[in-house]
A and B are shown apart, each in its own frame.
Chain A
Amino acid sequence: MNKALEGIRVVDLTVEFWGSIGAALLADFGAEVIRVEPLTEAPALGVEYEHAPGEWNAFAALAQRNKQSLAVDLASARGRTLVQDLVGKADVLITDRSRDALAAAGLDYGTLVAKKPDLIYARGSGFGPQGPDADLPAIDELAAARTGMMPILPQPGQPPVFPGHGQMYTAVMLPFGILTALHHRVKTGEGQEVDASLLAGNMYGASLDLQAYLAIGGERMLQPISRLDAGNPMSGTVYMSEDGPWVTLTMPDTDRWWPIFAPLVDLAVDDPRFDTHDKRCGANRLEMMQVLEQAFLRKSAAHWRAMFQEHQLSADIIESYEFPATDAQVYRNRYLVEVDDPSHGKQTTLGFPIFMRETPGRLSGGAPARGQHSAAILHDVLGISEDEITALRDAGTIGG
């Protein structure tokens, strides 16, 4: 199969789920990603959902797929030299470790760029490369707390909500930055440092709320807004259906939708309270939300789904994870894929969020066991002899 990143070699020194996913995206699209796993560390990932020993490690299956693994003792001078030499044969280093830890292992930018002048050195950080908090730990919760969205996500009077998705923006910003740097390198021969932080990811995810506050300001942007006090009763709103599931509407240009929508919620198109966009979103906005609240409660979610489909409305039912997991088009688009794990049988995992006609995302291997490819990497990439590899293994410098 054709690979978009054929010939690109990446050394992956990530620890966190999101950082590892950033590297996995490169592997999914054909880069050779060598995961360096320090022998002195507990294996990363898999602890989050406390899978029982022997159970399928879903986090690793997603974040480490398509990678090779080199297990090495980074506490030893020889181990550090091996990794430095490996970086010398690579195009990209990707990491989410602290700068202190990287410097201690001789894997800081200054050291590595001396060995590989056109290296692209990409780091996922907590809070960016500059500023007073550049070395705070890279924890998504801390970055989310800094971003200003947590207090305004819930309804008034509710505790702030940690949404948990901010890290996923960062996970994609990292490969985006790497590819941008590769494009620069191919023209100029120049490498550079790339940083994508959790703070930047959370801020980017909050784009419109943040930009609106920056431009408009005001207390209303800082407080949770009741769902029955939305700016537009037909857009960005949620209403409960008769049997419990919630309905959501996004019809910002209400004039376009009103003639179709009004009869579905038992309103006359020429109802004088709601017959213009300005009335719907202005003077009679709150009254309209009360009317819609009652209307949606009169019918089941299935009814509303059928109506939205029949009339091609921009509206839907708020579902749970069961829904995409049983939605055939999700598999047809390979957003979810089924894998046959050699030890754990058929499993469902996230697939590929990017469609490429000629170079599709591929699943050429599951998550490697720690050190699974140690010998092969040392031999094939660094040209180390079998005897020396045996000696390195005996000395505990490499594992696997």
Chain B
Amino acid sequence: MASALEGLRVIDLTVWFQGPVAAQHLADFGAEVIKVERPKGGDQGRGVRSIKALPVGDWNQYFLVINRNKKSMALDLKTEAGREIMHRLVAQSDVFLSNLGADNLEAWGLTWEKLHAINPKLIYATTTGYGPYATTSKPSFDMTVQALTGLMSRLGEPDQPPIYLGMGSGDAYGGLMAALAILLALWRRNTTGVGQHIDASLYGAQLFLAAPTLQAWLATRDTRWSAQQSRTAARNPLWNTYRAKDQWMMLCVPNRDDAFRAFSGSVGDATIAAEAKFASAAGRREHARELIAKLDAAIATRTAAEWMTRWATLGPRGVAASPVATLADLAEDAQAWANDYLSETHCEEVNRTVTVRGMPVTLSKTPGTIRSLGPELGQDTEMILFEMLGYDWDEIGALKAAGAIP
């Protein structure tokens, strides 16, 4: 099947998550991604041994999934010969992507100015912590930057600890932004023939991630958008979490009178529909605590499945509601499988089929594909030197002797 990004070559000098996942998006849609790693240990993501105090098991899913569809080249950039190889790679590539510190890139001759001089067509992409004009110099990880944005402190019930959006949630967004930026720059290059420097940072991406509430807060400076809000006082009691007899549910009924009339008749507490103070949208808002308490009691009397059946027949399109799933439910969700959001693939490391995150974007004619999981460290080093860069075997032997490659 055709690949949308076939013919693009990306040099991926990234570690951990934000950088690698940016290149993964491009690789999924057919770009040739060459991951360049230090010979000793490679990408630090290869070293992940446990997640949530659980051993990762016999295959390192942290590394192997975000580095799928890539080649690996082991290169010691601390050696002059290693840097020379990198420059030759760059001369024949479309994109250079890195999330290493600016000091490393400077020391290894990998600045925008230097690489642009070597290859004016090159897109020079960085993923950073705080952006190209940052004044913060501290090391950055997803969660420490998420902490600064204000995203965490507004979640959860009042007086509970702040809530992290999930492992790698900010990295994933920065990586996606970088992938989009690279495609924008490549598009521009179609016109000009010249590359440019792009950057996506954890800080910038996560501020954008906060848009639905941050933008409202910027306009109103109302703590309702920035501080923890209790579900027991939700402004629209009909759009809220409720605990059914067996599990939590998410209910999404607009605070409109017609919707309320249809819904309130279904919950089995006649006083809700009859109560005058709940009859208007403003009344429901003003008496939210009371209405939520009544709904809490009513909804707890039946199971989620019973509610889903009952609500499906209300009104022309039913009541929008869903049981609150667990990751185990998602792993078996027919909808996720039907759309290739979950996928099975062969894992060479353990020689069996494993389940992985699939394609988050669906293209009807050139869908993304998983051709292999993450590469072994340096597995393609010699072939790239030989076939792409034109080194002969004697030269490759000399590079080994010089320690540029393992």
- Does chain A have a CB within 8 A of B260? no
Q: A186's closest neighbor in chain B, by CB?
A: B190
Q: A277's closest neighbor in chain B, by CB?
A: B49
Residue of A7, A141, A154, A313 with most chain B CB atoms under a 10 A cut-off: A141
How many Å lie between the Cα of A184 and that of B367 in the bound state?
Answer: 11
Q: A170's closest neighbor in chain B, by CB?
A: B360
- Does chain A have a CB within 8 A of B393? no
Contact check, B327 vs A333: say whether CB atoms are below 8 A apart: no
How many Å lie between the Cα of A134 and that of B137 in the bound state?
Answer: 45
- Does chain A have a CB within 8 A of B169? yes
Q: What are the interface flags for A9-23 relative to B under an 8 Å C-beta threshold, 1 for contact and 0 otherwise?
A: 000000001100100
Contact check, A325 vs B218: say whether CB atoms are below 8 A apart: yes
Contact check, A205 vs B166: say whether CB atoms are below 8 A apart: yes
**Chain B residues with Cβ under 8 A from A253's Cβ?**
44, 47
Contact check, B176 vs A200: say whether CB atoms are below 8 A apart: no
**Chain B residues with Cβ under 8 A from A213's Cβ?**
327-328, 331
**Chain A residues with Cβ under 8 A from B138's Cβ?**
308-309, 312-314, 316
How many Å lie between the Cα of A75 and that of B61 in the bound state?
Answer: 51
Contact check, A319 vs B153: say whether CB atoms are below 8 A apart: yes
Shortest C-beta distance, B221 to chain A (Å), equals: 9
- Does chain A have a CB within 8 A of B161? yes
How many Å lie between the Cα of A285 and that of B52 in the bound state?
Answer: 12
Contact check, A215 vs B320: say whether CB atoms are below 8 A apart: no
Contact check, A167 vs B212: say whether CB atoms are below 8 A apart: yes
B100-150 contacts to A, CB under 8 A, are: 112, 130-145, 147-150
- Does chain B have a CB within 8 A of A398? no
How many Å lie between the Cα of A352 and that of B336 in the bound state?
Answer: 31
- Does chain A have a CB within 8 A of B271? no
Contact check, A281 vs B53: say whether CB atoms are below 8 A apart: yes
How many Å lie between the Cα of A302 and that of B55 in the bound state?
Answer: 36
Contact check, A179 vs B335: say whether CB atoms are below 8 A apart: no
Which of B84-92, B200-208, B381-389 sits within the interface? B200-208
- Does chain B have a CB within 8 A of A114? no
Shortest C-beta distance, B74 to chain A (Å), equals: 20
**Chain B residues with Cβ under 8 A from A151's Cβ?**
248, 324, 326
Q: What are the interface flags for B60-87 relative to A under an 8 Å C-beta threshold, 1 for contact and 0 otherwise?
A: 0110011000000000000000000000
A290-341 contacts to B, CB under 8 A, are: 308-309, 312-325, 327-330, 332-333, 335-336
**Given contact pairs A211-B356, A238-B161, A330-B203, A183 touches B187 in the complex (Cβ within 8 A):** yes
**Chain A residues with Cβ under 8 A from B142's Cβ?**
250
**Given contact pairs A154-B157, A225-B52, A350-B211, A196 touches B361 in the complex (Cβ within 8 A):** yes
Contact check, A181 vs B335: say whether CB atoms are below 8 A apart: no
Q: A214's closest neighbor in chain B, by CB?
A: B355
Contact check, B157 vs A49: say whether CB atoms are below 8 A apart: no
B172-200 contacts to A, CB under 8 A, are: 172-173, 176-177, 179-181, 183-188, 190-192, 194, 196-200
**Chain A residues with Cβ under 8 A from B187's Cβ?**
4-5, 8, 179, 182-183
B322-340 contacts to A, CB under 8 A, are: 322-331, 333-339
B interface, by DSSP: helix, strand, loop or mixed? mixed
- Chain A interface size band reads 35 or more
B280-334 contacts to A, CB under 8 A, are: 317, 320-331, 333-334
**Given contact pairs A203-B336, A208-B51, A209-B167, A172 touches B173 in the complex (Cβ within 8 A):** yes
- Does chain B have a CB within 8 A of A192? yes
**Chain A residues with Cβ under 8 A from B34's Cβ?**
none
Q: A282's closest neighbor in chain B, by CB?
A: B53
Contact check, B181 vs A354: say whether CB atoms are below 8 A apart: yes
Q: A218's closest neighbor in chain B, by CB?
A: B54
Contact check, A127 vs B185: say whether CB atoms are below 8 A apart: no
Q: What are the interface flags for A206-237 relative to B under an 8 Å C-beta threshold, 1 for contact and 0 otherwise?
A: 11111111111010111001010111100010
Contact of B320 among A127, A142, A358 (CB under 8 A): A142
How many Å lie between the Cα of A176 and that of B192 in the bound state?
Answer: 21
Which of B2-10, B261-269, B398-406 sits within the interface? B2-10
- Does chain B have a CB within 8 A of A369? no
How many Å lie between the Cα of A21 and that of B312 in the bound state?
Answer: 31
Contact check, A145 vs B325: say whether CB atoms are below 8 A apart: yes
How many Å lie between the Cα of A221 and that of B65 in the bound state?
Answer: 18
- Does chain B have a CB within 8 A of A2? yes
How many Å lie between the Cα of A168 and that of B177 in the bound state?
Answer: 11
Contact check, A349 vs B215: say whether CB atoms are below 8 A apart: yes
**Chain A residues with Cβ under 8 A from B54's Cβ?**
212, 216, 218, 220-221, 231
Shortest C-beta distance, A301 to chain B (Å), equals: 11
- Does chain B have a CB within 8 A of A149? yes
Contact check, B212 vs A180: say whether CB atoms are below 8 A apart: no
Which of A55-63, A263-271, A381-389 sits within the interface? A55-63
**Chain B residues with Cβ under 8 A from A347's Cβ?**
218-219
**Chain A residues with Cβ under 8 A from B379's Cβ?**
none
Shortest C-beta distance, A192 to chain B (Å), equals: 4
**Given contact pairs A159-B157, A168-B211, A222-B326, A236 touches B61 in the complex (Cβ within 8 A):** no
Contact check, B156 vs A4: say whether CB atoms are below 8 A apart: no
Q: B218's closest neighbor in chain A, by CB?
A: A348
Residue of A146, A216, A333, A353 with most chain B CB atoms under a 10 A cut-off: A353
Contact of B341 among A128, A169, A176, A179 (CB under 8 A): A128
- Does chain B have a CB within 8 A of A86? no
Contact check, B160 vs A359: say whether CB atoms are below 8 A apart: no
Contact check, A62 vs B215: say whether CB atoms are below 8 A apart: yes
Shortest C-beta distance, B301 to chain A (Å), equals: 18
Shortest C-beta distance, A139 to chain B (Å), equals: 5
Contact check, B132 vs A355: say whether CB atoms are below 8 A apart: yes
Shortest C-beta distance, B42 to chain A (Å), equals: 14
**Chain A residues with Cβ under 8 A from B334's Cβ?**
131-132
Contact check, B160 vs A158: say whether CB atoms are below 8 A apart: yes
Shortest C-beta distance, B358 to chain A (Å), equals: 9
**Chain A residues with Cβ under 8 A from B66's Cβ?**
207
- Does chain B have a CB within 8 A of A400? no
**Chain B residues with Cβ under 8 A from A313's Cβ?**
138-139
Contact of B357 among A129, A165, A201, A204 (CB under 8 A): A204
A sample of 9 inter-chain contacts (CB < 8 A) reads A51-B220, A128-B362, A145-B323, A179-B180, A184-B363, A208-B166, A313-B138, A322-B226, A335-B131
